[in-house]
Amino acid sequence: MAQPQQSDGAGTGKPPLRVGMVGYAFMGAAHSQGWRTAGRVFDLPMSPELAVVCGRDAIGVRAAADRHGWADTETDWRALVERDDVDLVDICTPGDSHAEIAVAALAAGKHVLCEKPLANTVAEAEAMADAAEQAWHQGRLAMVGFNYRRVPATALARRMVTEDRIGTLRHVRVTYLQDWLVDPAFPLTWRLRREQAGSGSLGDLGAHIVDLAQYLAGERLAGVSALTETFVRQRPLPTAPAGGLATVDATGTGQVTVDDAALFTGRFASGALASFEATRYATGRKNALRIELNGERGSLAFDLERLNELSYHDGTEPRAHAGFRRILVTEPDHPYLDAWWPPGHGLGYEHTFVHQARDLVHAVAEGRTPEPSFADGLQVQRVLAAVEESAEKNSVYTLITA
């Protein structure tokens, strides 16, 4: 067994926080980078250790451990959640296994970080939120990985909303545009099958923008009206087949069972209007999570493709000099930035995971509920369920149950 990689140096006298991570694909790599770096950049109250990584394939998980710096491996998540030398379970698997792992980990006395969306169904998410509620009384914390709250620019936007810089909210418009499904020859991966992914662009992209919109607005959606569409319904099977692809037809293709795109409008509790679009068919848009909030006193806008910038219009300025300003969010008094580089030296995507790790370590050390909580993740799930219900019921406006 190799030495555990510690985000903060041994011998610093800080208590360790031993992480066990389940899954090691895209999200696993990003989370590893977060755990490995957080203590190197931020002065943390505990020292994260990359203790164990878990995956079903023994050879694959060993290689991932070596690559990403995890000290030990497991091939059964049940074994991982029972280990005494793990304090926190970090769940980076597809959505269909989130509930089972998270509930077991909380029951085993671990803190839990779970990737978004929290679950594939409201029922699963409710079970998880219940488990988190009980674990809280045992001093265990649970957090869902809506990492886009932790871009410095979105965190600054939230701070500016709480400072009342935009006033009474009138509009929120959000899109999350990608284009990796435009080619009909793109294969049928697990993300295109309902049994594993739960939904398509809705759960993958829509979950992010629902959370971010509500986080920035500081309030919840009351109801939605939705259209969803699957543009390409049959796709070639991947060379290395994803698990559980039951519906394979004779031509070597399989059925897409999730949405390709989801459009919905909604009302916030306050009466503000919102529009949402999640799609994987916006040719040329690679990761265009764009959000704009218009309030009576000002507006804020953000684009994930330019993540070091926040656009702000101060509506109280004399109109002769007013305009949307581009705040380069790299100043030491911007969120998270005092620990990084001088002004103008931007951050990247993965830094959201460093910040997520930082914030969770602080929450654990201080016994505070981390945000977004499983209850927050459940509420997003309810919005997604209302979207699906509306889409099935001819777009009729559908209230979000509390």
Q: Which of residues 339-368 bind a copy of itself (CB under 8 A)?
A: 341-351
Q: By CB under 8 A, which span of 102-110, 200-208, 248-256, 286-294 interacts with a copy of itself? A: 286-294
Cα 42 to its chain centre, rounded Å, is 21
Q: Tokens in use for 294?
A: 């218009």
Determine, following the binding rule CB under 8 A, whether residue 160 of this chain makes contact with a copy of itself.
yes
Residue of 94, 295, 370, 372 that binds a copy of itself (CB under 8 A): 295
Determine, following the binding rule CB under 8 A, whether residue 233 of this chain makes contact with a copy of itself.
no
Looking at the Cβ atoms of 99 and 177, the one nearer to a copy of itself is 177
Q: By CB under 8 A, which span of 103-111, 132-140, 236-244, 283-291 interacts with a copy of itself? A: 283-291
The interface with a copy of itself within residues 188-217 (CB under 8 A) comprises none
Determine, following the binding rule CB under 8 A, whether residue 299 of this chain makes contact with a copy of itself.
yes
Determine, following the binding rule CB under 8 A, whether residue 397 of this chain makes contact with a copy of itself.
yes
DSSP 232: -
| H or E element that contains 212 | helix 207-217
Taking phi over 0 as left and psi of -120 to 50 as alpha, with beta for the rest, 164 belongs to: left
Phi, psi torsion values for 169, nearest 5 degrees: -80, 135
Looking at the Cβ atoms of 59 and 180, the one nearer to a copy of itself is 180
Q: Tokens in use for 312?
A: 């702000």
Is the preceding omega at residue 94 within 30 degrees of 0, hence cis?
no
The interface with a copy of itself within residues 9-48 (CB under 8 A) comprises 9-12, 26, 30, 32-33, 36-37, 40-41
Torsion of CA 22, 28, 34, 36, to 10 degrees: 70
Determine, following the binding rule CB under 8 A, whether residue 321 of this chain makes contact with a copy of itself.
yes
Residue of 60, 267, 362, 365 that binds a copy of itself (CB under 8 A): 267
Determine, following the binding rule CB under 8 A, whether residue 388 of this chain makes contact with a copy of itself.
no
Q: For 6, what's the count of Cα atoms within 13 Å in the CB-facing half-sphere?
A: 14
Q: Which of 396, 178, 154 is nearest to 284 (CA)?
A: 178
Looking at the Cβ atoms of 136 and 397, the one nearer to a copy of itself is 397
Determine, following the binding rule CB under 8 A, whether residue 113 of this chain makes contact with a copy of itself.
no
Separation between Cα atoms, residue 273 and residue 250, nearest integer Å: 47
Q: Which residues contact 84 (CB under 8 A, 6 or more apart)?
A: none
Partners of residue 345 on adjacent β-strands: none
Q: Which of 119, 87, 117, 83 is nearest to 103 (CA)?
A: 119
Determine, following the binding rule CB under 8 A, whether residue 303 of this chain makes contact with a copy of itself.
no
Residue of 218, 243, 244, 323 that binds a copy of itself (CB under 8 A): 323
Sign for the pseudo-dihedral over CA of 391, 269, 95, 302 = positive
Q: By CB under 8 A, which span of 94-102, 119-127, 129-137, 165-173 interacts with a copy of itself? A: 165-173
The interface with a copy of itself within residues 48-87 (CB under 8 A) comprises 65-69
Q: By CB under 8 A, which span of 134-142, 175-183, 250-258, 358-366 interacts with a copy of itself? A: 175-183
